Structure 1
Amino acid sequence: MDSIKPFPFRVIHHQRQGMARDDYFVGFQVCKKFHIDTHGLAFLDLAVEDELANDILSLSKPLEEIKAEFLDTGFGKLESPILLQPAELPLLTSYKNGHDIKERLTIFSNEFFEIRKSPTAGWGAFASKKLYQGDQILVEKALYHAIYADVTTSVRSLPEKERLIANDMFGHKGRDGETHEEAVWNTNAFAAYVPSKSGYKRNMPGLFAVAGRFNHSCLPKIDYKYRASHESLVFTVRDWVIEEGQELTISYGQDPSVLYYKYGFICECGHCRRFDPRKSEWS
């Protein structure tokens, strides 16, 4: 990597989030290096003018608060800051037009990607512009958190808008007698380790209406992590470069048989051993 050179702060305006792989916040005081979850490196300049940063970037909180968190955290424990505001709820996949029910072409978009119909797997996420390793593209809070036994009750107690969005998601019924709410949760929920009263972290999976639309690949382009401190799921670019229009994929797991029995599809990503259910011991 080339030595760090000063760049005008506005150079990173085109990224807005400002944390792409080769972007640097470089100033005249202290720079702290931090490790992105995707193993990319970036530098946060603790001398950047707060007012300017807040005007230009889509930060989740004032830059001075982000700086304080970095200074108060041990070097070995540094995590990339949450830069984006939590995502808005997606639209329902269909709408009523007179007496007809029409399917939407796009149900969610931000400056990095959009959720639209996929040519191979229902709905999917597609890059709206060129993306780079380390780019933070999605911060999302769950519609709800629950364990399997409480899912149906949790969904039915949601406000109507959130309940309709939750039930609008695909659910593969892999168990006899499963409700639609349980099938949706079992197909789409993300692990979320949250602190308990005893001080230990427990897994309380959450349903995320935007994140749940990302399709699977055994060689994913996007990494994700649940950040309990922000009660948010954070999606970050894993590939070095993603071109505009490419589908953004995550990993649901590496076992093709699990993908078939839990999620209801045979992986066609081309990076794994293709599963043949006819040869499965469970057939």
Structure 2
Amino acid sequence: MVSSAGVCWTLADDFAQWWAEGEVVTGKEKGVGSVGSVTPISPESTAAVAPTPGPMEQVTCPSLVEEASHAAVTAQTSGSSRDSGSPLFSIRPSPKGGMGAFALSDIAESTVIMKELALFLATDGKGHLAEELEKLSVEERTEFSKLACYELLDRDRDTAIFKTNRFRTGSSSGIFLVASRFNHSCNPVIRYSYDYSNRQLIFSTKRDVKEGEELTIMYTPNSQYLSMDYGFLCDCGVCDPPLKVPVYYDRWADKVPHETDDW
């Protein structure tokens, strides 16, 4: 049996190289484009009533350091307060390895933190996947190739990346560049659902969240599938029995919402 350590490359290692080479950039630095639209929800807008969708911010390259938002870049680099429209989380290296999403402020229960459009939707057929990949720009294709890849899922690397990062959207599956950076927990902080009418993946909090806390989702309710299908074992403390091994946090699962489309 091949261990996960033997087949996994870590985004933490690649991140250091990308940063040194100036490849880690934000939507602000790259300019406006057409990849993975994200609607960040501000703390102010969620204080009293359920948030309504704001203007969709088009981003070319969602950053591996912060969520793709001009306000996020300002807040992170200058220490200024988060103004209206700022995201509630950032994407940065996780203490346990790889990348993760972390709260930028205290977040109340049932707060919508993100609505994201897919980079593309495809069925499991390799032919359809190839067609969708052909439609991507060079820059979009590069962002797709940077996603985690559990190589034992398929000999074809593109197919393995797709299977590692896909979220089910009914009869097809979608690749969501920002959502793919969220790590797994058997006791997740975030629930998600798919809005079929607007074709958006919606993330919201299951409980109150403290500033700096990592925002996790559940890849699968059966922790045994994590090692069998996605190359890591869970050490979240909720598993029965707990698995006392390191977790590889860059393995995104074949995430399938329940019949209610809400986890």
- Shorter chain as denominator, the TM-score bin is 0.5 to 0.7
- The TM-score, its normalising length taken from structure 2, stands at 0.64
SS of residue matched to 1:116 = strand
SS of residue matched to 2:140 = helix
Aligned pairs (5 A) from 1:2-13: none
Distance (Å, rounded) in 2 between the aligned partners of 1:245 and 1:206: 28
Q: Of the candidates 142, 154, 158, which is equivalent to residue 132 of structure 2?
A: 154
Q: Of the candidates 124, 128, 152, which is equivalent to residue 100 of structure 2?
A: 124
Distance (Å, rounded) in 2 between the aligned partners of 1:86 and 1:253: 30
**Unpaired runs of at least 5, structure 2:** 1-40, 73-85, 246-263
Q: 1:92 to 1:134 in 2, by over 3 A?
A: closer
Aligned pairs (5 A) from 1:1-283: 15-18=43-46, 20=47, 23-24=48-49, 59-60=52-53, 85=56, 88-91=59-62, 93=64, 105-106=65-66, 108=68, 109=72, 110-149=86-125, 150-177=128-155, 179-193=156-170, 203-239=171-207, 241-273=208-240, 274-275=242-243
Runs of 4+ in 1 over 3 A off after TM superposition: 83-93, 105-110, 274-277
- The TM-score, its normalising length taken from structure 1, stands at 0.59
How much does 1:86 deviate?
5.7
How much does 1:243 deviate?
0.5
How much does 1:106 deviate?
4.2
Q: What is the aligned-residue RMSD (CA, Å)?
A: 2.6
Query: Which letter maps to 1:215?
Result: N
More strand by share: 1
SS of residue matched to 2:115 = strand
The percentage of aligned residue pairs carrying the same residue is: 31
Per-residue Cα deviation, 1:83-105 (whole angstroms, up to 9, x for no partner): 57367354465xxxxxxxxxxx4
How much does 1:121 deviate?
3.4
SS of residue matched to 2:168 = coil
Query: Which letter maps to 2:190?
Result: I
Query: Which letter maps to 2:116?
Result: E
The answer on whether the counterparts of 1:132 and 1:237 sit within 8 Å (CA) in structure 2 is yes
The answer on whether the counterparts of 1:124 and 1:213 sit within 8 Å (CA) in structure 2 is yes
SS of residue matched to 2:192 = strand
